[in-house]
Each structure stands twice: as structure tokens, then as C-alpha cells.
Chain A
């Protein structure tokens, strides 16, 4: 409960109310919070709670605080609840009803039902993450009802802070992405955008970037396949380059690849068929892209998945990955495909997600 801050409960500009539910009691971890029954509101940005009797008593928490959440079924004499697990308290959190809590989760207890719909909407909002598109950059100040809405970080300081945060984030992105080829492909679009924005920054020479840093950045870009920060002249226009790359890939998929830009790699892979190479780029429903041998027909994959699962009785994605020596990501995709074709069914419990032969 120490993640909440006092609030006037008024919505920001760009913040929309999604759903509200009366008759909700808050729990700090497993203990009843020292608050009465209230109304809980879900907006695109925050989770807000207001005391039913005393409207002045109103608290809010940004949805970005939420790691994950789950339903807790009702029991005899107990209402249904939603348990929400939270990130640690941010340093700049405004004061709220609790200074400190030993719990990193709260519960919403639905005394007047409504938990099914609330859970559904919360799931939607946590998936869409609409607060990321229209950020409310400063927490709402306490109590004063006169502020009807706009409180954004003002001044150069706020802008500079944002740029610095973004830079740290992108630095992290770059090192993560190069660990694993499949992860690299997924981050392809992100990475290309990133390198373009860095290139522009260099061009505009925004204040703090020194000569030395400029050279370092250019080295980054070179390793990502963009020789000249502004254009790609030196690498030749796309098609010819990709053609060459595709041929090379066909030969040396086993050898460790030199660093390529994800975009180049994906474009090269798309050319496998036209070059009559025995490789194919395959895109799963989830968007995951893999390179596989042409001989790897879908039926074979599914049949072998079914055999493996039947032999062991049941398998999780991790167990299947170990069995086949594949990445967990890939093995999960195969299991899901087999499920989609009706050969497997799933057992989803607190123990995890397990696949069984479809005996139904």
C-alpha cells in the first residue's frame, strides 16, 4: 500500500476513465488496509481509489507500478479479489496513506462483485499500456482541488532528463539485442529506429555531444551497418547488398556471423526462395521469425512434437526445448502450433503451462 499517493482524483488531459466499481476494500498484502469501503476507478494511466463516505480521502497509483496481477476466487464468506503485484516504490513518489509496507502486493476485494469485468479491463489496459503514449510526467500534487488537469514537467530540466533516460534505455537495448540472433530479429525495427535517431542527433550536434563521443557513436553505427551516419551510400543500394548477403548466409549459417543490422538480415532472408537456397524465413502467429531448413515441413514438426509429448506424457516448453536442443522460444512456438492443429491440449495451472496429447 506504500505505492499509493494522495490524489484529488481528477483525471489529467489525455487520461480517460475505463471502469469504476463500488464496494471495494483495499488490502495491504494480506492485511486489511486501514481504509474503509470505497470506489475503485481504473483509468488509462492510473488505479484510483476513493472512500465512499469521505470523498476527500482519495489515493492513486500509476499503472506502470504493476508487474502482474491475478484473480483470487471467492470463498465461503470471502469476496472475490484481484491480487496486484507491484514494482518497488519509486524514489520520487509523492506521499500517500502508507509510508512503508512490508508487502509488494495489494489486493482489491470486491464486496459488491464486478471483479470479472474489472479484471478484464485491467488486463486490456495493461496490454495496451496507453499511458506510455500520453505520459503524465509528474505525479499529481496533493489535495489542492483547483488544478483541473495539466501538470507536466516544465522547463529544460524535464526535457534533458527525458533525453538522458532515453539514452540509457537505448544503450541497454543495444547490448541486449546482440546477445542472441533470434532476439536480434525481434528487435530489428526498434534498432533501426534507434540508429536513425542517433544519426540525426549527431547531425544536429545537440549541445553535450563531444568529438570523442561522436567518434564512438559512429563506431556503433558502423557495426550496425550504417557507415555514413546520414546516408547509406557506401554500402550500395539495398538489393545488390542483400543478394550478396543472402548467398553468404546460405553458406555460412553455422559459422558465427559478423554483426549485421537486423534489417539487413531480415531482408536477406526474404530472398532465400528467389535465390533457390534451401532455407526459408518463417513467421509465426506471434510475430517471431525464424530461419529454417526448407525440408522442415510443418507436418513433420507437428508429428514429432506429438510423439515427444506422448512419450513423456506431458511437456512444458522448457522441457521440450531441453529434449530437442532448441531455444525455449522456438519449442514453445512448435507446441502452440501443434495445439492450434488440434494435436495437443494445454494444462494451465499454478505449476505452469504444460502440453498434453489431445485426448478429447
Chain B
């Protein structure tokens, strides 16, 4: 299924950072939403800012408009404030994009676990993200760092416990 662009994507002013504060707020909200859905659709978990500027996400070749670097940084800062983005370096050239936050992933994983009556079972991390049983689940193929954070979130809620084994990490659900 191809990505569905929001109406703003074909509206030239969308690519100019609006000086009117109220208009800007709505604009940024739309950009944040677009960025997150785009990453979700393409299962992107990390972004390189330079590459992002040239990618269709911020560059609409059809109307010949693209977001300036300055505007991209403003959008990313919004995402960061909302907890959907984390910088990987001081120079702000690469970032993690959490189109679903760790808590939300944790909830999905736990739902699957309890639905299948597997509470109190033990899993390796690999089994969860790549096992045959989880194929078809949204969290299948989840990158390690995100899976770990999600389970840590569950751990904080007392719904799971992480531990280390010989050949990797494992988790027990309560």
C-alpha cells in the first residue's frame, strides 16, 4: 500500500515556516504527524538529517518545494519535545524516530503475550522480534534498541522483568 500524503503536502505554504504564531502551530502539528506516519509506513527508526531533507518526506518535487534545514530542525525539536525523537549526536545530524513510543510498544507486546496466555513465560528478545510466533504482529521486526526500551517501560510498570542470559537478553512477563 503506498503512502497517503496529507492535503498539506501539496499546499506550497506548508513548506515555508509561517511567521504567524497560530498558523505556525497548526503547520508544525501537521509536519510532526506527517513525519511520524511516513517513518511508520516505511518502518524507519533512524534518520540522517541531510538525507531527510532530500527525501520525499520533506521534499515535494512535484510542486518544487522543500523544507529548509532551519524548518526541519524546528519540526524535529517539536518531535523531541513530544517524546517522539531522540538525537544520537551533539551535532544533531542523526536521530532516533519513535513513531510509536516505548510505552506504546510495550503495551502492544504485553497485549499479545496475555492474549496468547503466555504470561509467566520467558522469551528471548530475539524470539519476540523475530520469532515465527510473532510474525504478523506489528512489533515483529522491531529494532533491538526499541524493543529493549519497550520492555524496560513494561519493567517499570511491573509487568515484565529483563535479565541477561549466556547468549543474550531475555524477558519474563507477569
Q: Which A residues are within 8 Å of any B CB, using their own CB?
A: 71, 73-76, 80, 113, 116, 314, 339-340, 342, 345-349, 354, 356, 358-360
Contacts and interface: CB of A to CB of B under 8 A. Distances in A.
Contacts of B13: 345-347, 356, 360
B22 interface: yes
Interface of A is mostly: mixed
Contacts of B18: 345-346, 360
Given A73-B53, A116-B70, A360-B13, 18 more contacts: A71-B68, A71-B69, A73-B68, A73-B69, A74-B50, A76-B51, A76-B54, A80-B69, A342-B20, A345-B18, A347-B12, A347-B13, A349-B64, A354-B12, A356-B11, A356-B13, A358-B23, A360-B18
Contacts of A347: 12-13, 15-16, 65
A148 B50 CA distance: 43
B121 interface: no
A359 B12 CA distance: 11
Contacts of B11: 356, 359
A339 B54 contact: no
B20 A349 contact: no
A360 B23 contact: yes
21 contacts: A71-B68, A73-B68, A74-B50, A74-B69, A75-B50, A75-B54, A80-B69, A113-B91, A116-B70, A339-B19, A340-B20, A342-B20, A346-B19, A347-B13, A349-B16, A356-B12, A356-B13, A358-B20, A358-B23, A360-B8, A360-B18
Contacts of A348: 16
Contact of B16 (A71, A73, A314, A346): A346
Contacts of B26: 360
B13 to A, nearest CB: 4
B152 interface: no
A360 B30 contact: yes
B65 A349 contact: yes
Interface string B65-101: 1001110010000000000000000010000000000
A194 B65 CA distance: 47
B129 interface: no
A262 B26 CA distance: 44
B27 interface: yes
Report which residue of B19, B23, B64, B70 has the largest number of chain A beta carbons within 10 angstroms of its beta carbon.
Answer: B23
Nearest to A80: B69
Nearest to A115: B69
Nearest to A341: B20
A345 B23 contact: yes
Interface in B20-34: 20, 22-23, 26-27, 30
Report which residue of A74, A75, A359, A360 has the largest number of chain B beta carbons within 10 angstroms of its beta carbon.
Answer: A360
Given A73-B53, A342-B22, A348-B16, A360 B27 contact: yes
A74 B54 CA distance: 10
Contacts of B12: 314, 347, 349, 354, 356
A138 B20 CA distance: 44
Nearest to B51: A76
